[in-house]
Amino acid sequence: MDKNKILDSNKKYLQTHTETFDFLSNQLCSQGRDVTNILKKLSQFQVAIPSWALGAGGTRFGRFGFQGEPSNLEEKIDDVGILHSLTQTAGAISLHIPWDVPTDYDTVKERAKSQNIVFDAVNSNTFQDQKTAKESYKYGSLGNMTKAVREQAIQHNKEVIDIGNKLGSKSLTVWLADGASFPGQSNFQTVLQHTETSLKSIYEHLPQDWKMFIEYKPYEPNFYSTVIQDWGTSFMLANACGEKAYTLVDLGHHLPNTNIEQIVSTLMMKGKLGGFHFNDSKYGDDDLTVGSIKPYTLFLIFNALVYGMENNPQNPYPAWMIDASHNIKDPLEDLMQSLEAIQEAYAKALLVDQKGLLKAQQENDVVRCQEMLQNAYRTDVRPLLRQARLNSGGAIQPIATYRSLKIRKELIKKRGANSVASGL
Ligand code: AOS
Ligand code: ZN
Ligand code: ZN
Ligand code: ZN
C-alpha cells in the first residue's frame, strides 16, 4: 500500500485528533500516567491475522462470498499487508495447512517481508478429510481408535511444523475436533490416552526454539464430549508433553459465563499460557468481531494479561491471534474493528493503577477496587490508539481511510468479483 495515500488521508483528521489527544494526554499525565510508555506498548502490540478470516466464512446453512477475496496465499499476505499499513498492529499472519501450503517459499517469504509481515503460529488440520488422504478423521484423529489414522494425523502435524519452519514460524497450534456425539460412542480414558501419546510424538518433532499450543473447546463439532474440552485438559496435556507445550485460549471456547480472566491468570501463574485466539460470542463459538458483544469482559481479560505480563516472568510473551469468521461484513473492515477493540481493551488495562489496586485490595476496600477498574474501563482511550498509529505511519481512521481509498473496489478490479478465498 502506498504510504503517502495514508498520510494524505490523515490530514483531514489531524486537527480533531490532536485536540482530543492533547486533552486526554493532559488528563492522564495529571493522574500520574506515563502516556509515552503506553503509546510505545500499543505500537509494539502486534496481532496475527488468521489466513481463514480473510474471506467470507459462512455457516452450515450456506456461504455468501465477498467480492475480491484473496484466492491464494500471496493475496492473503497482501490483505494482511493492507491491514498492517492502515492499523500498524497486524504485523503477522497465521497459516492453516493444507489450505495455505506455499508453492514457492521464496516468493511467499519475499511477499511477506516487503510488507513487514512475519509468520506466526501454523495451524494443522485433522478435522477435515483431504482428497489424497488414505485414512478418514470421521471418528477422530490424534485420539482415533485406529493406529493408522493416528499415525496419519501425527505425520500431518509434523509436516505442518516443517512447512512453518521454512517460513520462519516458531509455533504450531493444534486444535482437535476429536470427541463423541453420543454417550457410549467412545471410552473417555482410551481416547484421552491416545491423544496424549500422539501429541507427545508431535512434540518430539518440534525444533528447539518452537512452541506447541494446545487449543481446547467444550463442544462442536461433537455434541456429547470433546477430548480436549477445557483448559484443565489442555494444561494437563501440555505438562505431559514438556516445557515447549502450552495452552491456547480461544475466547469463544467456553461455556456461558465462564470466568476467562481467571483462567488466564491461573495459566500465566503456572507459565503455561502460550497463545490467544481473539473473537467474541453471544452463545457459543460464534467467532464474531472482537469486542462486539462483551467489551467489559475483554477488558477484564486484558487486565489479567497485563498483570501477568508484568508479574509472571515464568510465562513467555503470548502469541496473539484473531480467530474470526465473517458472514455478512467485508472481512478486512471486520478485522480492523477487531484490531481496534483489542487495542482499546489493552490500552484501558494499561491505565489500571496496579499499585493503587493492590493497596485497595489489602485494605479490603471493595468499592475502591471496583472503581479503579471501572474508571480505567470508562476512559475513552481511542485518541491513544490513533496517536500510536500516527507515530508508526498508520491511519488515524483506518476504516474511513480504507473506504475513501476504495480499497475493496481495487481488489475486485484486480481479483475479480467472483474470487473465492482458497481453503474455504
Ligand atoms: C475451532 O473452533 C478453533 O477455534 C480453531 O482455532 C480454528 O477456528 C480453526 O483451526 C480454523 O479453522
Ligand atoms: Zn480458535
Ligand atoms: Zn473456534
Ligand atoms: Zn472461535
Query: pLDDT tens-digit profile of 322-355?
Result: 999 888 999 999 999 999 999 999 999 999 999 9
Average the pLDDT over 237-252 and give the result. 98
Burial of 380 per CB tally in 10 Å (0-12, 13-18, 19+): exposed
- The per-residue pLDDT for range 147-184, each reduced to its tens digit, is 999 999 999 999 999 999 999 999 999 999 999 999 99
Range of the domain at 106: 3-415
Q: Give pTM, 2 decimals.
A: 0.97
Q: Say which ligand is closest to the CA of 249.
A: 2
Task: Say if residue 63's pLDDT is above 90.
Answer: no
Q: Which amino acid is at 358?
A: L
- Ligand 1 pocket check: which of 323, 325, 422 to mutate, most ligand atoms within 8 Å of Cβ? 323
HEC string for 275-308: EEEECECCCCCCCECCCCCCHHHHHHHHHHHHHH
Q: Which amino acid is at 202?
A: I
- The per-residue pLDDT for range 361-403, each reduced to its tens digit, is 999 999 999 999 999 999 999 999 999 999 999 999 999 999 9
CA of 72 to the centre of ligand 4 (A): 23
Q: How many CB atoms lie within 10 A of CB 360?
A: 18
Residue 390, all three cell numbers: 500516527
Nearest one of 104, 204, 86, 210 to 154, comparing CA atoms: 204
Query: What ligand 1 atom has the least distance to the C-alpha of 125?
Result: 10
Average pLDDT for the chain = 96
CA of 13 to the centre of ligand 1 (A): 37
Q: Which amino acid is at 351?
A: L
Neighbouring-strand partners of residue 273:
247
Residue 423 falls inside a structural domain: no
Task: Say if residue 256's pLDDT is above 90.
Answer: yes
Which residues does a 6 A CB cutoff place in the pocket of ligand 1? 52, 96, 123, 175, 215, 217, 250, 277, 285, 323
pLDDT score recorded for residue 423:
67
Q: How far apart are CA 206 and CA 161, in angstroms?
A: 7
Residue 420 falls inside a structural domain: no
Residue nearest to atom 12 of ligand 1 (CA): 52
- Rg of the Cα atoms in the chain: 22
Q: How far apart are CA 116 and CA 232, in angstroms?
A: 36
Residue 184 falls inside a structural domain: yes
Residue 216, all three cell numbers: 481446547
Residue 424 falls inside a structural domain: no
Residue 422 falls inside a structural domain: no
Average the pLDDT over 88-100 and give the result. 97
Residue nearest to atom 3 of ligand 1 (CA): 175
Residue 107 falls inside a structural domain: yes
Q: Residue 390 — φ and ψ, nearest 5°?
A: -60, -45
pLDDT score recorded for residue 322:
98
Q: What percent of the chain has pLDDT over 70?
A: 99
Assess contact for 80 and 118: CB atoms under 8 A. Answer: no
CA of 125 to the centre of ligand 4 (A): 15
Q: How many CB atoms lie within 10 A of CB 284?
A: 15
Residue 397, all three cell numbers: 481512521
H or E, element range at 173: strand 171-174
Task: Say if residue 55's pLDDT is above 90.
Answer: no
Residue nearest to atom 6 of ligand 1 (CA): 175
Residue 421 falls inside a structural domain: no
Q: Name the domain count of the chain.
A: 1
Residue nearest to atom 11 of ligand 1 (CA): 52
Task: Name the more confident of 146 and 416.
Answer: 146
CATH number for 44: 3.20.20.150
Residue nearest to atom 5 of ligand 1 (CA): 175
Assess contact for 80 and 48: CB atoms under 8 A. Answer: no
* N residues, the chain: 424
Cα three-residue angle 106-163-240, rounded to 5 degrees: 150
Residue 252 falls inside a structural domain: yes
Rounded to 5, what percent of the chain is helix, strand, coil? 50, 10, 40
Residue nearest to atom 7 of ligand 1 (CA): 323
Helix crossing, 331-351 with 73-87: angle to 10°? 40
Cα three-residue angle 318-249-147, rounded to 5 degrees: 110
DSSP string, 391-405: HTT--SSHHHHHHHT
Nearest one of 225, 57, 221, 194 to 138, comparing CA atoms: 221
Sequence-distant (≥ 6) Cβ neighbours of residue 155 within 8 angstroms: none
Average the pLDDT over 41-55 and give the result. 96
Task: Say if residue 424's pLDDT is above 70.
Answer: no
CA of 323 to the centre of ligand 1 (A): 7
- Most distant CA pair in the chain: distance in Å? 66
